[in-house]
């Protein structure tokens, strides 16, 4: 990837201390030592955008990222952009809802503390809880923005209807900082390309794709009908990727393999290029778990 592409890439910290937000997968995540090494290498290849969430690894992801940020020089720390999220049900106690004003205020302060920041550059609704009135959630976001605790905000795991509803209320409440939509998008999950991505582009919303490698399926390391190797993401959390495990998906993976070989390109690099080349996709999130993965993505240390 060329230098221009680096400005479109966020380093995802969703594997630090666990895989995503699930308490069941805490033991399957990257250790603090491994995570800090990955962050060091992310900086070496030229990345300066980092995406996490309050519930990744039960808070461990934010804690590790915060520790790493405090160890960086001031010039890099000022350049770095940090995105985190609120609203995952795993972070909500019984009797409340994930996107209530009290939960947003509480978790934002916790995130700021763990990250060692005074302000979050980009704060996401992680997923809509469908119980809390949207007006209450956006009012809470407005209050923390006015208090200087967040700069911009976005929504994740959102439908076109969600985006339109948030836009309408944001306009009413003068929430001009609504800029981002973060959804799953890759060669095997292209539904958003039909309506949502073009809509976002038309409204100057920055569509950011997560899971561009479909949980590792687009690296070519899995085979249809075969058990995944022990310790892999698919072995730990097959239910998350069940929708991909069909003949049609693996036929697309085989086609990706052939086209990548014809261009003398790795499968991961080809899969990322597919996402970046999709009209209307502004950015994507990568989450390598080994240093050598960066090279297969086409990311080399800066000279």
pLDDT(221) > 70: yes
255 — phi, psi (to 5°)? Answer: -65, -40
Three-state secondary structure call for residue 9 = strand
pLDDT(8) > 80: yes
Q: Is residue 71 part of a domain?
A: yes
Residue 174: per-residue pLDDT: 66
Structure token pair of residue 15: 């594997």
Strands 178-184 and 9-12 turn out to be unpaired
Q: Is residue 302 part of a domain?
A: no
Residue 172: per-residue pLDDT: 81
Higher model confidence: residue 220 or residue 84? 84
82 — phi, psi (to 5°)? Answer: -120, 130
Residue 176: per-residue pLDDT: 60
Higher model confidence: residue 273 or residue 303? 273
Mind giving me the DSSP string for 35-95?
A: HHHHHHHHHHTT--EEE--TTGGGGHHHHHHHHHHHTS-HHHHHH-EEEEEE--GGG--TT
Higher model confidence: residue 163 or residue 5? 163
Kindly state the average pLDDT of the residues 105-119. Answer: 98
Give the total number of structural domains in the chain: 1
Q: How confident is the model at residue 175 (pLDDT cuts 50, 70, 90)?
A: low
* Residue 74 structural domain: 3-291
Kindly state the average pLDDT of the residues 143-147. Answer: 93
Q: Is residue 153 part of a domain?
A: yes
Nearest in space to 27 (alpha carbons), one of 15, 17, 12, 36: 17
Q: Is residue 91 part of a domain?
A: yes
Q: Is residue 300 part of a domain?
A: no
Q: Is residue 301 part of a domain?
A: no
Buried b (16+ CB within 10 A) or exposed e, 44-71: ebbbbbbbbbbbbbbbbbbbbbbbbbee
Higher model confidence: residue 227 or residue 299? 299
pTM equals: 0.94
Sole residue written with tokens 């022990």: 230
Q: Is residue 57 part of a domain?
A: yes
Higher model confidence: residue 90 or residue 174? 90
Higher model confidence: residue 171 or residue 146? 146
pLDDT(39) > 50: yes
The listed range with the strongest mean pLDDT (1-15, 136-150, 216-230) is 136-150
pLDDT(23) > 60: yes
Q: Is residue 296 part of a domain?
A: no
pLDDT(273) > 80: yes
Average pLDDT, the chain: 93
Kindly state the average pLDDT of the residues 83-88. Answer: 98
Residue 3: per-residue pLDDT: 46
Q: How confident is the model at residue 171 (pLDDT cuts 50, 70, 90)?
A: confident
Beta bridge partner(s), residue 81: 49
> What's the CATH code of the domain at 72?
3.20.20.100
């Amino acid at each position: 990837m060329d230098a221009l592409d680096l400005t479109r890439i966020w380093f995802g910290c969703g594997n630090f201390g666990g895989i995503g937000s699930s308490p069941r997968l805490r033991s399957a995540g990257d250790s603090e030592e491994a995570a800090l090494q990955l962050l060091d290498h992310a900086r070496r290849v030229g990345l300066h955008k980092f995406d996490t969430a309050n519930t990744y690894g039960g808070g461990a992801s934010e804690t590790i990222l915060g520790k790493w940020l405090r160890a960086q020089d001031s010039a890099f720390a000022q350049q770095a952009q940090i995105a985190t999220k609120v609203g995952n049900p795993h972070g909500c106690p019984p009797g409340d809802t994930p996107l209530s004003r009290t939960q947003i205020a509480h978790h934002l302060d916790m995130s700021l503390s763990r990250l060692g920041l005074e302000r979050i550059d980009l704060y996401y609704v992680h997923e809509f809880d469908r119980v809390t009135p949207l007006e209450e959630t956006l009012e809470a976001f407005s209050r923390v923005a006015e208090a200087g605790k967040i700069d911009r905000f976005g929504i994740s795991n959102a439908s076109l209807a969600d985006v339109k509803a948030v836009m309408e209320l944001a306009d009413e409440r003068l929430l001009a900082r609504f800029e981002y939509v973060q959804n799953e998008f890759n060669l095997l999950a292209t539904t958003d390309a039909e309506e949502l991505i073009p809509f976002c582009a038309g409204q100057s919303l920055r569509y950011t794709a997560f899971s561009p490698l479909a949980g590792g399926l687009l690296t070519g390391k899995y085979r249809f009908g075969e058990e995944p190797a022990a310790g892999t993401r698919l072995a730990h959390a097959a239910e998350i990727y069940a929708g991909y495990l069909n003949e049609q998906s693996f036929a697309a993976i085989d086609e990706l393999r052939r086209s990548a070989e014809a261009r003398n390109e790795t499968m991961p690099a080809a899969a990322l290029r597919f996402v970046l080349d999709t009209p209307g996709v502004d950015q994507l999130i990568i989450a390598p778990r080994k240093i050598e993965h960066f090279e297969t993505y086409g990311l080399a240390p800066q000279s």
